[in-house]
Chains A and B, each alone.
Chain A
């Protein structure tokens, strides 16, 4: 029965369904949780630092180098100087090398070389800091800086350990970050710029020096800031090689101490009842937090400023009258004497050849430490790995319990961080127009820059001895996993958000067109499409926390037996690398430490290779959240 008129359009679907509201709420609460954790972190630290900050003389941290809590002296200049000096050495070494290596990779290297080198850099970035520290003591200090100081006739009281060794270890640690980010920035320099320069007769080197690097400068500066934030907050590697001096020593061969290292060493042995000492240490933690926040925010601002100026200044339209005027104003230069021109050209070509080699050398030097570390640790550790190592407790000469404990901590942390991270990422990617979103994104980025020792202090104050409780909850796997989860969260969020943003809009539209609600679209279409990349991000984050030591010393405590309850102190593998690394050559413990370092290294590298094979994607760039 045909109707005389076309049927009225169906009533528009209600804009929101109950499911949508709930889903949105879920995502928002994940975002709110991230904000809550970040603000709680700052709040808890501030609360604990309060007795010192508002005490009689908080300025003494900066004015005195006398740290003697027993006598009420809290001068922290030794730590502050150590932090600044090591960070400066690290930057002085890593920035030229890293930028040179990036320029080589981006402008000179062939495709295959580029793949190999970026893979090696990713491995370098994945090595846990405790392994760097171990290598720093055993190789860099004993076989590197010590003979160097002796050769120069400088007095070093710590067998090569000290500010310089710590700075060099830091340099190796931040190199992959500087190189990776600078490489990305160099790649983003428009092709036309290079072509223009080459077409004008510039050599490769002139193009790199006059065109590519100036264009990329703001991005490179941002990379350096990110690396600086990392260097300042680094704990384990510095603790192990800086020499633990108690007074200022400005000699290049001097020993020192750094802020994170001092917190890691002194805070655990400070009873909660010793309020002022605790508060002074946590004030230092707060200082560290502020410094890393400032460097990170400056880096983001530079990147944003870079983006906005590029957009704000579009290419000027070619002006038809301009060429004529140039002709009038600038007389053509007189032609050069052919002999002189040829000589100049030869000189340029020579410089070009030398500089190309130099850039290649930068790249080469950048990956040398990787081979030194892998080689030395394999050489020392591979022989110690046997079945007993995996199946026994330390009483019977194995570290199986610590491997089980580490797996447990990492699994628990992943279980905590991944759901929150993914829902927060859905909020950032799918509810982009909420005003809440930029705040969450910004805070999550900043959370990624918080030094791990500070996160450990926070987890201790929340889960081990909660500041509001009169009774301790005790060291536990929960506390350790929470600290690790807080470290993982920013990486998971960033990777998941990027993955979801890359899902083509067509898929979303098709899903809506078929009548799916928003949450159905997200859960059934977007997340499955983004899943491989999300898993990549999660694996990366797992690699990052698997070797984490500093926060676990404050939360999981360690144990000599197989882990049992999640409420008990829990063993973790890096603990044994840190603790046994101090033992004399030839002892059983040092053998276990080498074996543990080897196993951890293999695990982390495997994780990276698997990730890479699975995703075929550059990983360092994706881990930039951290």
Chain B
């Protein structure tokens, strides 16, 4: 029994005291502030990069746990995290619930990105699609790779007679919201049957959790087609489709085509919910302009305007850094930097946060 007890004691000591093992900076002047955050998987790659840089610079640990926009909103409303991230602005119902729980909620745009259509079909090196065809694929009206609708868009490509496995998100997702918003704009049938939503209700297909879940499934399984934030497609070297935009041009997802879409779309004042509920929120899907990629979205950090004294200042400082200085990371990670003007507006918003 004694040896076992000794081992247990040792393990216990490691578990409780040994946690400084990797915290190199724990030795230099006090413990860093740790901010608990979570939500959208859309921003996770860049959020991790920001957190890494910011930790070195400011001794603040941004502990971002990706889990989907829906959970970001849910946890923020429950106040179990310090700030959340979502790619879909809060709906009226969510906004009201949050206001009842803790007062006004700020939406701070942190980055913009393309939702890429990824596919895995050996033999098809380049794929062109339109929004209407994508909608039909998800509605199961187009179910084979050699369907006439796809063949018409891809002359000269040998399309195999294989089933298309349409992959969607299994949980409440802001990326899905951007995607379904676009499809609702271009396909009346999709608008009627599914609509703009964080959780698409579809027959058939398969659900996967997170942008990483879809990326993994598409990469690993022949015949699959899905939608992910561009960073996930490029990092994992998954083929992406070019889409026909509103101006009728074929455009692939990349940082520039996102910026083009944003420039075109941000000029107009949003007229529909949920964008009218919050400042600094924009709908960027199906934008005008020759170079605009049609499925583009903004990821927002959401936080209460009333913050606690211990964590609040760290959250505000971090987000102020993100919206201007942090944007230099965007392009390398396949996101698009926020326009400087928008970043400054966001900083001004953050100045209005109160601590108590």
Contacts and interface: CB of A to CB of B under 8 A. Distances in A.
Contacts of B197: 70
A244 interface: yes
Contact of B1 (A270, A395, A398, A531): A531
Given A142-B220, A271-B97, A584-B215, A535 B4 contact: yes
Nearest to A465: B78
B64 interface: yes
Interface stretch (B65-73, B106-114, B151-159, B266-274): B65-73
B216 to A, nearest CB: 4
Interface stretch (B14-22, B257-265, B283-291): B14-22
B100 A245 contact: no
A584 B36 contact: no
A560 B163 contact: no
Given A531-B1, A584-B220, A268 B22 contact: no
A101 to B, nearest CB: 32
B238 interface: yes
Interface in A170-186: none
Contact of A245 (B22, B171, B207, B209): B207
A585 B79 CA distance: 36
A187 interface: no
A161 B79 CA distance: 36
A449 interface: no
B142 to A, nearest CB: 14
A46 interface: no
A268 B71 contact: yes
Interface string A179-221: 0000000000000000000000000000000000000000000
B97 A274 contact: yes
A509 interface: no
Given A247-B203, A532-B1, A580-B212, 15 more contacts: A158-B206, A161-B206, A245-B204, A246-B201, A265-B209, A269-B74, A393-B22, A404-B21, A408-B15, A465-B78, A535-B1, A562-B21, A582-B213, A583-B212, A585-B220
B171 A395 contact: no
B188 to A, nearest CB: 19
A157 B21 contact: no
A265 B79 CA distance: 20
Contacts of A96: none
A270 B67 CA distance: 12
B163 A155 contact: yes
A568 B34 contact: yes
A586 B210 CA distance: 18
Interface of B: 1, 4, 11-12, 14-16, 18-23, 31, 34, 36, 38, 48, 51-52, 61, 63-65, 67-68, 70-71, 73-75, 77-81, 94, 97-98, 100-101, 163, 165-166, 170-172, 197, 199, 201-210, 212-213, 215-221, 223-224, 235-236, 238
Contact of A269 (B70, B81, B100, B218): B70
A391 B19 contact: no
Given A266-B171, A407-B11, A568 B209 contact: no
A68 interface: yes
A559 B98 CA distance: 24
Contacts of B98: 271, 273
A553 to B, nearest CB: 9
B206 A246 contact: no
B11 to A, nearest CB: 6
Tell me which of B48, B51, B77, B201 has the highest count of chain A C-beta atoms within 10 A of its own C-beta.
Answer: B201
Contacts of A161: 206
B73 to A, nearest CB: 7
B125 to A, nearest CB: 19
Interface in A94-149: 142
B71 A569 contact: no
Contacts of A583: 212, 215-216, 236
17 contacts: A70-B197, A70-B199, A159-B220, A244-B208, A244-B209, A255-B206, A268-B74, A269-B74, A273-B78, A400-B21, A408-B15, A474-B80, A562-B19, A569-B63, A582-B209, A582-B216, A582-B217
Interface string A338-371: 0000000000000000000000000000000000
Interface string A228-258: 0000000000000001111100000001000
Contacts of B166: 157
Interface string A533-551: 0010000000000000000
A175 B217 CA distance: 29
Contacts of A410: 15
Interface in A386-424: 391-396, 398, 400-401, 404, 407-408, 410-411
Contacts of A580: 212
Contacts of B16: 408, 411
Given A244-B207, A475-B80, A568-B36, A159 B217 contact: yes
A580 B64 CA distance: 15
Contacts of B199: 70
B94 A271 contact: yes
A80 interface: no
A560 B220 contact: no
A472 B80 CA distance: 6
A569 B65 contact: yes
Nearest to B97: A273
Contacts of B68: 269
A281 to B, nearest CB: 12
A394 B11 CA distance: 22
A558 B75 CA distance: 13
Nearest to A590: B216
Given A408-B16, A560-B65, A587-B236, A464 B205 contact: no
B299 to A, nearest CB: 17
Given A157-B163, A157-B206, A582-B212, A562 B78 contact: no
A589 interface: yes
Contact of B238 (A407, A561, A584): A584
Interface string A557-580: 111111110001100000000011
A157 B199 CA distance: 19
B221 A159 contact: yes
B71 A561 contact: no
A560 B15 contact: no
Contacts of B63: 559-561, 569
A461 B9 CA distance: 32
Contacts of A614: 4
A269 B201 CA distance: 17
A80 B14 CA distance: 43
A311 interface: no
A375 interface: no
A471 interface: yes
Contacts of A408: 15-16, 19
Given A400-B21, A587-B236, A614-B4, A472 B201 contact: no
Given A400-B21, A561-B34, A271 B163 contact: no
A272 interface: yes
Contacts of A407: 11, 14-15
Nearest to A398: B22
Contacts of A400: 21-22
Enumerate the 6 nearest inter-chain pairs by beta-carbon distance, A residue then B residue, closest first: A244-B207, A584-B219, A407-B15, A269-B70, A158-B206, A273-B97
A582 B210 contact: yes
B97 A159 contact: no
Contacts of B201: 68, 246
A378 to B, nearest CB: 21
Contacts of A579: 210, 212
Nearest to A532: B1
A404 B14 contact: yes
Nearest to B236: A584
Interface in A269-294: 269-274
Interface in A565-616: 568-569, 579-580, 582-587, 589-590, 614
Tell me which of B34, B65, B97 has the highest count of chain A C-beta atoms within 10 A of its own C-beta.
Answer: B65
A246 B170 CA distance: 9
A580 B212 CA distance: 8
